[in-house]
Amino acid sequence: MSKTQARWISLGGRTLATVALIAAGGFVLQAQTPQPAATLAPTVSAQEPILNLQTADTGLAYSSSIQDYSSSDAAQPDTQISAVTTKPFDFLNAMQYGGGRQRYGRPRYRGGNTNADGSPKYDFYAGGGFGMPAGTQSNYLTTGWGLEFGGGRMFNRLVGVNLEFAYDHFGMTSATINNQAYLYDPTNSYGIQGNLGANSHIWSFSLQPIVNLKSGEGIGAYVTGGFGFYHKVANFTLPSEGEECDYYYGCYLYEANENIDHYTSNAAGIDGGFGLTYKFSRFASERLFAEVRLVHTFNQYKPGVTVATVDTYTGNNYFPQNSQHTTYIPVKFGLRF
């Protein structure tokens, strides 16, 4: 081999080595370059459903749709997750109808103590105030105090019926007391004149239908009226002294009024009136109320003694006014719940 041939062989080897190094470097760079997005195909299981979930506790709905993919598609599949906006939690509605979760359709009401419209099934009330005699009763009775208690069934937010107990206590005019003292003791032989005391009261049980004209938060109004049994009583008293003894303190004297005459009269009666209520908030079930009624009882009159017949009267009815028809106006304030 000549020197010229050896030189060409050496030059060719270096050239091949250079080309090999360049090819190897290009292969390494190609291996480190990320693959195009089109070559990354997601793996979708045949058992995996397309997501369309709604959580019961939060009310947020999610949906995820995966587009169909094939080997011929060049684009990456579009995967979307969207949040569906729902109504905000209604705290007032939850307090009224119960339950902390958002519900749709017809609301569900709490327990078995509410009607279909959400109003309470039962009505209770208690109050006190004063009563004023009306008509002929004002000739011998004076304004007194009274109490009432009742409760019953509300069929809806407007209409209901209650069973009520009422007690109204009246005084008597000084003219009536003086006249009565004269009838008992015309000559004042027993010292009744100037010492006689008197009072009257009526207690009753009645059915009271009620109609709410306006209810809800703030001012409300209602009308009521009914019928029932009325028991009327008149008492006449004189002060008396008594003696009380016990083991520890011995005996002592006391003074108290003692009944000397007593009259009763039973009758049916009717009443009617209206009232106003005030509810502090929609969360409260209690309502303040103020009402006024007109009451009339159908007592059967029983004749008795008069000033003109006092000297000849032989009966025992010294207060026939107690058996007269009775009309009075009770005014009551209290709480309904």
Which range (46-50, 55-59, 118-122, 314-318) has the least confidence?
A: 55-59
Q: Give the pLDDT band (50/70/90) at residue 114.
A: confident
Judged against a pLDDT cut of 80, whether residue 85 lies above it is answered with: no
**Predicted pLDDT of residue 79:** 47
**Does some domain include residue 48?**
no
What's the CA gap between 223 and 212, in Å, rounded? 7
Q: Kindly report which listed range (216-220, 229-233, 314-318) carries the lowest average pLDDT score.
A: 216-220
Task: Please give the DSSP secondary-structure letter assigned to residue 117.
Answer: T
* Tally of domains in the chain: 1
Tell me what pLDDT residue 150 has.
97
pLDDT(103) > 90: no
DSSP letters for 169-224: EEEE-HHHHHHHHHHH-TT-TTS-TTT-EEEEEEEEEEEEEEEEEE-SSEEEEEEE
Among 305, 320, 302, residue whose Cα is nearest residue 183: 305
The strand order across the sheet containing 79-84 reads: 52-54, 61-66, 79-84
Neighbouring CB atoms inside 10 A of 17's CB total 10
CA distances from 187 to 101, 173, 181, 182, 307 (A): 84, 22, 10, 8, 13
Find the range with the poorest average confidence among 116-125, 130-139, 244-253, 291-300. 244-253
18 within some domain: no
Mean pLDDT across 31-55: 47
Any bridge partners for residue 128, and if so which? 147, 333
39 occurs within a structural domain = no
Lowest mean pLDDT of 96-100, 110-114, 232-236, name the range: 96-100
Task: Look at residue 322 and tell me if it is in a domain.
Answer: yes
Q: Is the pLDDT of residue 241 over 90?
A: no
Instruction: Give the pLDDT confidence of 159-176 residue by residue, as tens digits.
Output: 999 999 999 999 999 999
Asked if the model's pLDDT at residue 44 lies above 80, the reply is: no
The pairing of strands 61-66 and 250-279 is unpaired
Q: What is the predicted pLDDT for the residue at 25?
A: 53
Residue 268 phi/psi, 5-degree rounding, is: -80, 155
How confident is the model over 284-301, as a mean pLDDT? Answer: 94
Q: What is the pLDDT of the chain when averaged over all its residues?
A: 78
Task: Record the tokens describing residue 30, joined without a space.
Answer: 């190609």
% residues pLDDT > 70 (the chain): 67
Pick the range with the lowest mean pLDDT from 86-95, 112-121, 123-132, 195-204: 86-95
Residue 98 in this model has a pLDDT that exceeds 50 = no
Residue 251 binned pLDDT confidence (cut-offs 50, 70, 90) = confident
In the three-class reduction of DSSP (H, G, I as helix; E, B as strand; rest coil), residue 328 is classed as strand
Higher pLDDT, 263 or 50: 263
> Which CATH number is 157's domain given?
2.40.160.20
Tell me what pLDDT residue 263 has: 97
Structure tokens at 310: 């006092």
The amino acid that residue 18 corresponds to is T
* Residue 247 binned pLDDT confidence (cut-offs 50, 70, 90): confident
Could you tell me if residue 164 is inside a domain?
Answer: yes
Partners of 274 in the β-ladder: 223, 292
pLDDT computed for residue 20 by the predictor = 53
Residue 100 has pLDDT above 60, yes or no: no
In a domain, 17, yes or no: no
For 268, the domain range is 122-336
Residue 29, SS3 per DSSP: helix
Which strand (E) or helix (H) includes residue 10?
Answer: helix 3-32
Q: What length does the chain have?
A: 337
Is residue 32 included in any domain, yes or no? no
Q: Which of 7-11, 192-196, 277-281 has the lowest mean pLDDT?
A: 7-11
Evaluate whether residue 43 is within a structural domain: no
Distances (CA, A) of 182 to 243, 280, 305, 306: 29, 55, 11, 10
